[in-house]
Structure 1
Amino acid sequence: MSLRTKFALSATALIASAGWVATAHAQAFYLQEQSARGAGRAFSGEGADTGAQSLWWNPASIGGLDHVDAAISAAVILPKGKVNNAGTLICRPGQACAPVGGDQVSRDPINNGVLPSGAIAVPFGDKVAVGLAVTSPYSFTTDYAPTSWARYSALRTKLQTVDIQPSLAIAPTDWLRVGGAVNVEHVYASLGNALPNVSPLQADGRQKLEGDGWDLGWSAGVQMHNSWATVGISYKSRIKHTLTGDLTVTGLQAPIPTTQNVTLSGLKAQFYTPAQTIVSGRFKLASPLTFNAQIVRYNWSKFDAIRLGAPLNTALPENYRDSWSQAGGFDYAVSPALTLRAGVQHANTPTQNGLRDARVPDADRWNYGAGGTFQLTPRIGIDFAGNYVDFKDATIDRRTAAYAGTPLQTPVLTSGTLTDARALVFSLGAHIGL
């Protein structure tokens, strides 16, 4: 391995603290706001509900439809929180470890965002229906100032996904629905962080990793119906993403070889987004009241590393763990024109103590939702919801090193906290049946 490649590789080791992902408020970098109807009950019954609004969670949801069903929605996500330094040190070669310096508190590093989604389902006879859902399940942007204490872990991260899910569902009996789908997903990612120079009097260098790509996954599910209950079981596969792009390093100064200020083009990076296993139920307790419950298992442990291709040929460890969410809620039909909803969801983070960084300052959280549907006409309705997400305080404690394995190795001994983290989410949508 050439010295040039070795320095590029060791500089890139700082990217191991986050990779191609951005933080969100649902779970790690997953966004679940694909339905205003679902947001109102804190996503407690989506795999067992019917119609186009549940396509993301279960392709069997459109089986047995007797009319064209379409829906659109948008969620405004307003996160807040503080990422605090608690004694982070940087150990430059030949020098004693010293405080990293910079702004000691980074407030609200997660950008506000708008998340759109839409779906349509068309029946063919009374047994078969086809559908199409367009969502953005992994999308967000985070920003840290160049003067932040967390700059060696993260500056700006932007992730955008578009998931196109054509679906097919059948109703072989009065009580059974079966569906399957293909998930065609485009990902664009851009992330950057600062690089320390050898002297603390020298300005930081920078690196930016950027790329995009198209990849495939699949979804399948069933629903079982009777007069008072619906149970849905579905599975969304993991997706192996391959992104092609550039790594750019600038601002390195002697004694670091300035030839390391380079752009490596055509670099490939691979990582997995998690599979989901969803079990959901809706139960009519009385004529106007329906109780909802949903459990989701996320196979986040497949996001164990980000694998970079030639000329770097290395794996950057992530070490996420599998995680769960549990939710309960209700729908209450006040009148034929108005349905009210509420729910609560708990989810544990896939990030682990000792391995959590500032780019993905995730934590266990509670999601409280309320909303409803107002039918303007028997065919056209408006869905609305508000959610409050409360995060548990967590540590930011992943240690990294710039130029690892070279004489200029520079460890960064990260010690920080995530505090006062919360998010408000407002969702609005419309649906039409023809």
Structure 2
Amino acid sequence: MHYRSSRLLLAGAASAVALAWGGTASAQAFYLQEQSVRGQGRAFSGEAADTGVESLWWNPASIAGMQGGEASVRASFIRPRGKVVDNNTVIVRPAQAPASVGGDPLAKNPIDNGVLPSGAIAYGFGRVALGLSVTAPYSFTTDYDADSWSRYSADKTKLRTFDIQPSIAVEVAKGLYIGGAANIEHVDAALGNYLPNLSPLLPDGHQNLKGKGWDVGWSAGMQFHDGPVSLGLAYKSSIKHKLDGTVTIEGLAGPLAARNGTIDATAEFSTPWMVIGSARAKMSKSLTLNAQVVRMGWSKFDSIDLGAPLNQSIPENYRNSWTWALGADYEVNPQWTVRTGIQRGMTPTRNGNRDARVPDSNRWNVSAGTSYSLSQKFTIDAAASYIWFKDATIDRTTAAYAGTPVQTPILVNGELQDASALVFSLGARMAF
């Protein structure tokens, strides 16, 4: 492969990696918050201040003061719906007049249904407790048809993260808990999108990226319990991920045919940090009110940095964002508790920088849930949520073969419409 061909292959690969991560989830951008069925029932409104393994992801201090052990397993079924609509997206091929991108102008339900499992276990020795949680906080799959109008910026994408969080917590004084944890994360990403040939009469080419990597972050938190009031504050660090993988380009024809091939590639990106503050107040023997605010440092996802041989930095321009939630737990009797809550989440994506891989927008989440103790040591949890999203523009300009003489801009003009999601979760907790 001669130098000019290699340069175009690398430019195409850079375009692929630039679009590797994103998707509408149930919290913000590609973050999934369904790591507790109990928490989902009250719209995640009190997790950093509650105790036990169900709150371990949000606050490692939650297990301090335990006597004996507790374990939980859960799974969430996520059913997203929505339309991604073309409003006259234009492609500008070299030495040709701007033209419609063509393809099907309506993509229905491009984000796949998914099942999100998680679990946690902890054992307390009085003042000190050890715990372990396994979650998948950043995960999604999108699948656009081959003839979709969005095919040059989004085709098929899969992102999976697996977070292993060993934790330690200590009761340093009566009612005062502190905790710390490591977050060991594995990322597995695969994505593809189509490439325009120089002639609109030729079929599209295609490119595909695959990559994996292991990286480490940390969490820390504290809780204060005084009579009917519980307060919690926690921090989860950003994690800088490095993925090693390959980029494959195929199907280019005519003058671009020599650009087909496979190269090794690396990519670096960072997940957001989180600051989580919670309060719980027991208003009566049966009723507990909850409030939670989360600040997410999405500005860490400001770019995707490509290593040798690509050596490019692709801007993402995410911004820090907020989530607020209010909820309630009501104990019907010692065996049965019901919950409800509402959450408001703000998208970290910006107008002018939103693409079809990240059809994200501001959203509302309304949830309800219940717990029933079958015995003193075994409890079943269930929850359901309805999430609806504000319509938003999809308007991030992309370019095939960026930085080369055959650079081909795609002037994206689309919209996310009528987007929503249903989430159903079931879990079990066992003391031992």
In the alignment, which residue of structure 2 is the partner of 1:229? 229
Matches within 5 A, 1:29-428: 29-124=30-125, 126-256=126-256, 258-265=257-264, 267-428=265-426
- TM-score, normalised by the number of residues in structure 1: 0.98
Q: Give me the whole-angstrom Cα distance separating, in 1, the residues matched to 2:10 and 2:298.
A: 26
Task: Report Cα offsets for 1:20-73 as digits up to 9, x if no partner.
Answer: 344423210000000110010000000010001100000000000112111111
Q: Distance in 2 between matches of 1:198 and 1:363?
A: 34
Q: Does the 8 Å contact 1:18/1:318 carry over to 2? A: no
Aligned-residue sequence identity (percent) comes to 57
1:259 Cα deviation after fit = 2.0
TM-score for both structures, normalised by structure 2: 0.98
Residues in 1 aligned to 2:3 and 2:52: alpha-carbon distance in whole angstroms:
57
Does the aligned pair in 2 maintain the 1:17–1:359 contact within 8 Å? no
Give 4+ residue runs of structure 1 displaced > 6 Å after superposition: none
RMSD: 1.1
Q: Deviations over 1:292-313 (max 9, x none)?
A: 0000000000101111111111
Offset from partner CA, 1:248-305 (integer Å, 9 cap, x none)? 000111122x22101002x111000010000011111111100000000000001011
- C-alpha distance after superposition, 1:182-207 (max 9, x if no partner): 01110000011000000111000011
Query: Which runs of 5 or more residues in structure 1 are unaligned?
Result: none
Amino acid in structure 1 at the alignment position of 2:355:
D
Aligned residues: 431
Quick check: 1:168–1:179 contact (8 Å CA) kept in 2? yes
Cα offset, 1:17, TM superposition: 5.3
Report SS of the residue matched to 1:39: helix
Alpha-carbon offset, residue 2 of structure 1: 3.3
Give CA deviations for 1:323-345 in whole Å, capped at 9, x if unaligned. Answer: 01000000000100110000000
**Structure 2: how far apart are the matches of 1:28 and 1:336?**
38
**CA distance in structure 2 between the partners assigned to 1:242 and 1:13 by the alignment:** 15
| 1:218-254 Cα distance to aligned partner (Å, 9 max, x none) | 0000000011111000000000000100000001111
Most deviating of 176-185 and 66-75: 66-75
Q: Which amino acid aligns with 1:324?
A: W
SS of alignment partner, residue 68 of structure 1: strand
3-state secondary structure, aligned to 2:174: coil
Q: In the TM superposition, what is the alpha-carbon distance from 1:15 to its structure 2 partner?
A: 2.9
Q: Distance in 2 between matches of 1:16 and 1:285?
A: 51
Q: Which amino acid aligns with 1:259?
A: A
Q: In the superposition, relative to structure 1, how do residues 209 and 188 fare at CA in structure 2: closer, same or farther (>3 Å)? A: same
Q: C-alpha separation between the residues in 2 aligned to 1:342 and 1:67? A: 29
Find the aligned partners of 1:348 and 1:57 in 2 and give their Cα distance.
19
